Copies of this chain bind each other. A is one copy, B any other.
Amino acid sequence: MENKTSGSATSESKTGFTTRTVVTPNEAMPKVWRRETKPHRFCPGCGHPIILKALAQAVEELDIQGRTVFGCDIGCSLLAWDFFNLDSIQTHHGRTTPVIAGLKRARPDLIGVAYMGDGGGYAIGSQHLLNAAMRNDRVTVILCNNTVYAMTGGQMAPTTLPTQKTETTPYGRDPAMTGEPTLGPELMAAIGRKGAYAARGTVANYRQLVKFTKKALENQLADRGFSFLEVLSTCPTNWRTTPRQTWDFVEDDMTRVYKVGEFLKPEDEK
C-alpha cells in the first residue's frame, strides 16, 4: 500500500515529539473501503464499521476484490450500501441472504457476502438463514449482533440480553415472556452441514475477527459449504453507553452469554 504524503506542515507536539500534517490516502484504511464515502455514516463508536474493516482486510488478503459482491440488509448495515470498492446491493429487511444466494446460484464464480443485523438475520430473515444453511448454499453470511434493532431506535432483538432495557422491554427483557437470546453459530453447528463453517467473533478482538472472516470467505472460495460468522458489536447510540460502558457491555455482559470462537469447521461433519 503506497502512502503518498502529498503535503506536510510540521509542529512541535506538547510532548516534545514532532507533529506533521500529511495528506494521504490513509493506509490504515483498507483499500477495499471506498475513500470517497468516508467518513462513513455509522455513529461514533459503532461496531459495524469495525466488522466491515475486518471484511475489507480479509477480501484484500485473499485478493478477491474483483469478484466479491457485498449485500447489505435494511438495518444499520444499509448505511454500508456504498461503503466499499465492491459491487454492492442493498436489499430488503431480512432478505439479503436470498438475494446473495440467488446471485451465487446464477454466478458461482462470484463470492457472495450477505451482511445483516441480528434482527434481519435471526428474526425476519430467519427462514432464509436457516434454509440457506440447510441447503448448504455457498455464500458467506456475516451477522452483526448488537443486541438491539438499532436503526429503528433500539427495540428488543432476538439477541437482547436478559434484563437488558430496550424500547420494547422498558422494564428489562424478561426471558420468561420473550425467551432467552438466540444463539446463531451454535444453531448452525447443530445443523452441522458437511463443509459448513460457523463462528462467533467480536469487535473487541480484531485480529481474531479478521481470521474468522477470512476463513468464512475461504470456505466459499473452496466451494465447501455455507459459511456463517456472527460478530459481537457495539451500538453506543441505542445502548446509551460511554466508551467504557460500551466495551464492558461487549466484553463482559455479551461475552458471558455469547461464547466467542469457532463452532463448526469444514472438517467437522454430522
Binding site for B on A (CB under 8 A): 123-127, 130-131, 134-136, 158, 175, 177-180, 182-183, 186-187, 189-191, 193-194
Q: A134-B179, A135-B179 are in contact. List 7 more A-B contacts (CB 8 A).
A: A126-B126, A134-B182, A135-B177, A136-B175, A186-B190, A187-B191, A190-B190
Shortest beta-carbon contacts, A-B, top 3: A190-B190, A135-B179, A127-B127
**Given contact pairs A187-B191, A190-B186, A190-B190, A178 touches B135 in the complex (Cβ within 8 A):** yes
Q: Is the interface of A mostly helix, strand, loop or mixed?
A: helix
13 inter-chain pairs at a CB distance below 8 angstroms, sorted by A residue, are A123-B127, A126-B126, A126-B130, A126-B131, A127-B127, A127-B130, A134-B158, A134-B179, A135-B179, A180-B193, A183-B191, A187-B187, A187-B191
Give bound CA distance, A135 to B177, whole Å. 7
Contacts of A194 in B (CB 8 A): 180
Contacts of A182 in B (CB 8 A): 134
Nearest B residue to A187, CB-CB? B190
Contacts of A158 in B (CB 8 A): 131, 134
Give bound CA distance, A126 to B126, whole Å. 7
In the complex, what's the smallest C-beta–C-beta distance from A60 to chain B, in angstroms?
31
Nearest B residue to A134, CB-CB? B179
Contacts of A125 in B (CB 8 A): 127
Nearest B residue to A137, CB-CB? B179
Contacts of A177 in B (CB 8 A): 135
